[in-house]
Amino acid sequence: FDKAIFILHDQLNLEAWPDWIKKEKPLLIFIESKEKGESLPYHKQKLTYVLSSMRHFAIECTESGFNVLYHSTEGHYDDGLSAILDGFDGQLTFMTPSEWETRERLRSVKSNFENQVQEIPNSFFLADVDQWKDKIGPNYRMEYFYREIRKQTGYLMDGDDPEGGEWNYDEDNRESLPKNHPLPEFPLFEPDEITKEVMQLIDETFTDHFGELNRFEYAVTRDQACTLLDDFIENRLDKFGPYEDALKTGNHKLFHSQLSLYLNNGLLLPAEVCERALEAYHKGNARLNSVEGFIRQIIGWREFIRIYYEAMMPDVRDANHFGFTNKLPSMFWTGKTKLKCMEESVKPVIEEGYSHHIQRLMILSNFSNLTETDPRELNRWFWFAYIDAYEWVELPNVLGMSTFADGGVLASKPYVSSGNYINKMSDYCKHCEYSVTKKTGENACPFNYLYWNFVDKQRDTFNDSGRVNFMVNMFDNRKSDQEKEAIRESTERFLADLDRES
Ligand code: FAD
């Protein structure tokens, strides 16, 4: 072979690679790296997903006439690739890895094999990093970017105006779920022989890693991922918008798509997913606020987050605006807690590596912020615990969006709330041992006093350019000295008793 392509585990779609590859059929190289798998205690189902979908994809490539070199290394990707290049005289192309460390490693291979290796830009995303990267900063919000991408793609545009007259229909998208509302079923897949083999390998090799592996029901091929996309468009998209922020005991998916893992390794591409949603809207099968809300998550948040990563790495890895130093509460590992909302948000992560956006943001991150946990610890947890986690997408969401660790580059305020918000959006509090109506003292919902403690202590972050924030004002002027003392006492007791990772 005079030409070869190295395809990483999250680049599994030839439609996103240059056209010449399908015509010329160079050698395709895949590498399984034990060191990458061991670099964090990744969820066992995440590792299963990564390896099984890569193995399936490699087999599909051979079936469509490619020669494939499938290599396994004890080391990292650079070790595997260097070993291959030692015995290969042709030209090798790799696509810029979306994750920083792998990128650095492949670039070092490129400098060691200067005349043989070339890097091409990553084409699994819609927005061009160079066009937007310099804009990232506290004055540039996702919404500005999103409008530009709407214009660029023409998605939901009516000439120069947004479809329906508004750019954003979020006001219609904040409903809690009515009691007894029917809930959708999700198609599940039985593991085939390839997946079973991978499950065994992961169980034996990564025994101490996070999460359960007694079942595995995710798609691992493009065909299966397309079945899930069809199912979402048909059965859930229409209600995605209104119940996007809702939380429900015993159901951690509701009307969400659960497509992030397939978008993040290429089995599905962002444009096709958006175009299917648009098609449903134009056929009258899905309402505008749902389709707009869904498309905004993909061409807005997902793309913006990736540009933020490119602009902020690597320094952002150390971001810790509030200077919190506490370890992660142990319940993030065990799911064992009297707090129903935390139990409901951690358990599905242990069982399946997934919980939906509001659980990640308004329960897990909120609790981490209020318990003054080091955001880098939370960041690490999100990276290894979720099936859809890759550093480029989880880090901005954790250190930028949900913990305010970057000091306000991505979000304008920290995402924190008292038990009231959780009670409004969910039925968790009804099933909880704590009382959401009690503000302090024994059995009071900890979110209540922890929230006011946070507002008090982090008042500078809430106050806006000299103006006193509404909540800070509430604390200062509407709470009696006795209430303030009770908040401090309850907080101190709760934080002192909280079991944390050692
Ligand atoms: P849906 O609610 O159906 O949304 C549709 C799609 O939009 C998602 O599949 C995803 O591709 C995209 N999307 C939505 N919100 C975001 C966002 N904030 N950032 C980027 N893409 C978004 N997403 C990941 O893909 N990987 C992660 O590791 C990850 N970590 C997160 C950590 C925290 C603390 C928070 C608050 C969010 C995180 N997200 C992450 C974003 C979002 O929560 C998930 O993309 C979403 O929950 C995935 O489920 P879904 O496919 O059902 O999404």
Cite the beta strand spans of 37-125 per DSSP E.
Answer: 68-73, 91-95, 117-120
Both tokens of 68, joined, read: 């494939």
Hey, which of 388, 401, 406 would you mutate to test ligand 1's pocket, going by the most ligand atoms within 8 Å of its Cβ?
A: 388
Neighbour order of strands in the sheet with 91-95: 68-73, 27-33, 3-6, 91-95, 117-120
Hey, which of 218, 238, 247, 260 would you mutate to test ligand 1's pocket, going by the most ligand atoms within 8 Å of its Cβ?
A: 260
The ligand 1 atom at the shortest distance from the C-alpha of residue 261 is: 25
CATH code where residue 277 lies: 1.25.40.80
CATH code where residue 336 lies: 1.10.579.10
Q: Would the CB of 366 count as within 6 Å of ligand 1?
A: no
Q: Which of 255, 281, 312 is the last residue of a domain?
A: 312
Question: Averaged over 419-443, what is the pLDDT?
Answer: 97
Helices (H), 386-480: 391-395, 419-425, 446-457, 459-462, 470-473
Which pLDDT score is estimated for 331?
98
pLDDT above 90 covers what percent of the chain? 98
Clarify whether residues 297 and 270 are in a common domain: yes
Q: How far apart are CA 82 and CA 47, in angstroms?
A: 23
Clarify whether residues 156 and 274 are in a common domain: yes
Q: Which residue's entry shows tokens 């779609």?
A: 13
Which pLDDT score is estimated for 483?
98
Both tokens of 337, joined, read: 């807690």
Clarify whether residues 103 and 152 are in a common domain: no
Whose CA is closest to atom 51 on ligand 1? Answer: 258
Identify whether the C-beta of residue 268 lies closer than 8 Å to the C-beta of residue 262.
yes
Q: Which of 98, 120, 142 is the last residue of a domain?
A: 120
| ipTM summary value | 0.99
pLDDT digits (tens, 9 = 90+) for 470-493: 999 999 999 999 999 999 999 999
Whose CA is closest to atom 20 on ligand 1? Answer: 302
pLDDT digits (tens, 9 = 90+) for 158-190: 999 999 999 999 999 999 999 999 999 999 999
pLDDT digits (tens, 9 = 90+) for 382-413: 999 999 999 999 999 999 999 999 999 999 98
Hey, which of 276, 357, 358, 399 would you mutate to test ligand 1's pocket, going by the most ligand atoms within 8 Å of its Cβ?
A: 357
Clarify whether residues 350 and 277 are in a common domain: no
Clarify whether residues 401 and 437 are in a common domain: yes
Q: Would the CB of 355 count as within 6 Å of ligand 1?
A: no
Whose CA is closest to atom 10 on ligand 1? Answer: 260
Give the containing element (helix H, strand E) for 370.
Answer: helix 366-370
Domain total of the chain: 3
Residue 83 lies in a domain: yes
Q: Would the CB of 388 count as within 6 Å of ligand 1?
A: yes
Q: Which of 257, 285, 312 is the last residue of a domain?
A: 312
Residue 386 phi/psi, 5° resolution?
-100, 145
Clarify whether residues 396 and 266 are in a common domain: no
Say if residue 105's pLDDT is above 80: yes
pLDDT digits (tens, 9 = 90+) for 267-306: 999 999 999 999 999 999 999 999 999 999 999 999 999 9
Clarify whether residues 274 and 407 are in a common domain: no
pLDDT digits (tens, 9 = 90+) for 184-214: 999 999 999 999 999 999 999 999 999 999 9
Clarify whether residues 357 and 381 are in a common domain: yes
How many other β-carbons are positioned within 10 Å of the β-carbon of residue 456? 18
Hey, which of 297, 299, 387 would you mutate to test ligand 1's pocket, going by the most ligand atoms within 8 Å of its Cβ?
A: 297
Clarify whether residues 112 and 158 are in a common domain: no
Which pLDDT score is estimated for 465?
72
Any residues with CB less than 8 A from the CB of 351 and at least 6 apart, and which?
A: 211, 212
Any residues with CB less than 8 A from the CB of 261 and at least 6 apart, and which?
A: 49, 218, 354, 387, 388
Residue 284 lies in a domain: yes
Long-range contacts of 300-303 (CB under 8 A, 24+ apart): 300/142, 300/143, 300/145, 300/146, 300/149, 301/142, 302/263, 302/270, 302/393, 303/125, 303/126, 303/127, 303/145, 303/149, 303/270
Say if residue 466's pLDDT is above 80: no
Domain with 166, as residue range(s), is: 129-184+236-312
The rounded Å distance from CA 259 to ligand 1 centre is 9
What SS3 state is found at 256?
coil
Whose CA is closest to atom 50 on ligand 1? Answer: 258
How many other β-carbons are positioned within 10 Å of the β-carbon of residue 185? 9
Task: Please report, to the nearest 10 degrees, the dihedral formed by the alpha carbons of residues 495, 496, 500, 502 taken in order.
Answer: 150
Give the containing element (helix H, strand E) for 158.
Answer: strand 157-158
Averaged pLDDT of the chain: 97
